[in-house]
Amino acid sequence: MSQRQVLQVFEQYQKARTQFVQMVAELATRPQNIETLQNAGVMALLRPLLLDVVPTIQQTAALALGRLANYNDDLAEAVVKGDILPQLVYSLAEQNRFYKKAAAFVLRAVGKHSPQLAQAIVDCGALDTLVICLEDFDPGVKEAAAWALGYIARHNAELSQAVVDAGAVPLLVLCIQEPEIALKRIAVSALSDIAKHSPELAQTVVDAGVIAHLAQMILNPDAKLKRQVLSALSQIAKHSVDLAEMVVEAEIFPVVLTCLKDKDEYVKKNASTLIREIAKHTPELSQLIVNAGGVAAVIDCIGSCKGNIRLPGIMLLGYVAAHSENLAMAVIISKSKKAIKNILQKCTYLPALEPFLYDAPPNILKHVVGQFSKVLPHDSKARRLFVTSGGLKKVQEIKAEPGSLLQEYINSINNCYPEEIVRAVFRAVIVLGQRLVERPRADVDRDEDEEYQKQEEAGCCGGHSEELHLQRSLLQPGLRGIREALRCHGNAAAPQWNRAFIT
């Protein structure tokens, strides 16, 4: 037999091993094949291939084991009982990045099923090796290691403490600062799994400086990352007042409220959960949420969601209302505000809206004025009644921030009337305000009546007296004031009013 024939035997053996592990890895992706593979003793056949001289065969064998162990706890337990874990841990520190990712996948697949299986991974010394992998140059290796550590830590406080003692937390915090989104997600998830078990573990995570980094990622466009970030902050805030205050001090409000309007349902749910975990501790924290507009935002979120997505928001309202009567009233008012807003947007009968101009709170007044700004440009009769009833004068008295939505509504209303009319109304408001400040109302009324009578007797219709009369007539309630202005000023005023009411 020639040398070539001898080598050909080895080549065929290598090809057969390669084909075997590749086929097993492929078959393991289909649930219907798992039981057959298990009955055929696939675990015992894959174990020696983890130490194969061909790296590709090693990696594929590890991948196949991971897929099998991921399917159920019986197969995961078979990995543990077959003494496969020590081989994986040994190779994890020595092999290339492809094998490291596959080996970490096997550890994750085994550890996810139960605390006992996760403890078996800890007992074989895998934590130290996984932590070393967090420092690897390859982002995929870091991701696989972080994923495995998170699956181990999620079971209980003892396993989480073991992960902390291995030095994983500072390296996980570094991982969330890496540019790869997938690595950020897994690292944040692992930190969340560590922090959720006890105040001490949460404090350990906080001491590593994680809150500031998480707060910066709340508005990240990636929905899956936002889910994990909000969950991690919730797991930190839930334990104590001090931890909740540290989360609040990271200036997550009002930024986190925007997440309540996110397209992703679980982003909404986790945002509601975070706000709930903060609100439950003290009346002061609940009041902070109310002042930031959190209650109203949560109510809107509840109305737009379905199923158990609404549950954290509903619980939040209960926590806030339970603290004090004032906070309970804030919840009630926030609920009624949404109903009032919806009613106002459908109301086109302006006389019914006008009383709100005088006594509505600022957050409702904005919607009232907005409805007037929608109807008045298209209804000449409504424009006339709005002036004669004193509504236009009241609008000029409203103090709005420049550039605000309320100011835009006021400008829209003013644009429905000639500039001269709006100016006259505004001057009348200023005159009345000055006189009310200087003297009692009764004196103002008496002096106005005397001045008006003098102007009537003199028949003045020009110059300063004309302006005074127009202001005086606008200050009178009802249609009589407008009629007096038109009668006295004749052609000078009539075109202005006609343009306002007829066009």
**pLDDT tens across 86-123, in order?**
888 888 877 788 889 999 999 999 999 999 999 999 99
CATH class, 247-346 region: mainly alpha
Q: Do 393 and 353 form a contact (C-beta atoms < 8 A)? A: no
Give the sign of the dihedral formed by CA 206, CA 212, CA 213, CA 217: positive
Radius of gyration, alpha carbons of the chain: 37
d(CA 296, CA 292): 9
Considering only CA atoms, which of 56, 55, 112, 111 is closest in space to residue 85?
111
d(CA 163, CA 103): 18
Residues in the chain: 503
The reply to whether 3-246 and 247-346 are identical in fold is yes
On average, the pLDDT of the chain sits at 82
Half-sphere exposure of 466 (CA within 13 A, CB side): 11
Interior CA angle at 325 toward 324 and 326, to 5°?
90
* Percentage of residues of the chain with pLDDT beyond 70: 82
Mean pLDDT in order along the chain per 10 residues (503 residues): 81 92 92 89 89 89 92 88 86 83 93 93 92 92 95 94 94 94 95 95 94 93 95 95 94 91 93 94 91 87 85 87 79 66 76 80 83 87 84 83 87 83 66 53 50 50 45 45 44 44 41
Predicted local confidence at residue 438, as pLDDT: 52
Interior CA angle at 279 toward 275 and 283, to 5°?
155
Q: Do 125 and 89 form a contact (C-beta atoms < 8 A)? A: yes
Q: Name the DSSP class of 240.
A: -
Predicted local confidence at residue 485, as pLDDT: 45
Surface-to-core class of residue 212, CB atoms within 10 Å of its CB (0-12 exposed, 13-18 middle, 19+ buried): exposed
Predicted local confidence at residue 338, as pLDDT: 66
Q: Name the DSSP class of 263.
A: S
d(CA 107, CA 148): 6
Q: CB under 8 Å to 503, separation ≥6 — which residues? A: 380
Domain ranges of the chain: 3-246, 247-346, 349-501
d(CA 71, CA 69): 5
d(CA 174, CA 190): 13
Residue located via tokens 């939040």: 316
Fold that domain 3-246 belongs to in CATH: Leucine-rich Repeat Variant (1.25.10)
Q: CB neighbours (10 Å) of residue 116? A: 11
Alpha helices in 347-460 (DSSP H): 350-353, 356-359, 362-375, 380-388, 391-397, 405-414, 419-438, 441-458
Tokens coding 174 = 């570094």
Q: Using one digit for the tens of pLDDT, what is the confidence trace for 41-61?
A: 888 899 889 888 888 999 999
DSSP labels, 48-105: GGGG-SSHHHHHHHHHHHHHHHHH-HHHHHHHHHTTHHHHHHHHHTTS-HHHHHHHHH
SS3 12: helix
DSSP labels, 463-499: HHHHHHHHHHHHHS-SHHHHHHHHHHHGGGTHHHHHH
Q: CB neighbours (10 Å) of residue 260? A: 23
Predicted local confidence at residue 65, as pLDDT: 92
